[in-house]
Amino acid sequence: MQHVNKTPLKFVTNFKDKFSYNNEGNIIVAEISTLQLRKPSEQITIVSQKTGETVLFTFTNVDTWMGDIQGWNYTSDKGIKLLIIND
């Protein structure tokens, strides 16, 4: 199991760069390499450049398959999920 970084992270996005939003699944997706992360952070804040809306995400678990990390899962109190994919 990978250790979680205690330092909270904050990203501001227009959802056309590092993050994409899927309205059907109510999920924000990004890639680990694009964000230049080495391990999951306990909390991530994402701010919309367009609306200024801020959403705080809390780490929930790591997805693995055959021992390899597939991604990190986060949830928010607004019902939005965040998936950071290990590309």
Q: What is the pLDDT along the chain (87 residues), one digit of tens a residue?
A: 468 889 999 999 999 889 999 999 999 999 999 999 989 999 999 999 999 999 999 999 999 899 888 999 999 999 999 999 998
Look at the chain and report how many structural domains it folds into. 1
Structural domain contains residue 1? no
Token pair for residue 36? 């230049």
Place of tokens 């992270």: 9
Structural domain contains residue 3? no
Structural domain contains residue 37? yes
Question: Which residue range is the domain that position 19 belongs to?
Answer: 9-85
Measured in whole angstroms, the distance separating CA 3 from the mean position of its chain's CA atoms is: 16
Structural domain contains residue 52? yes
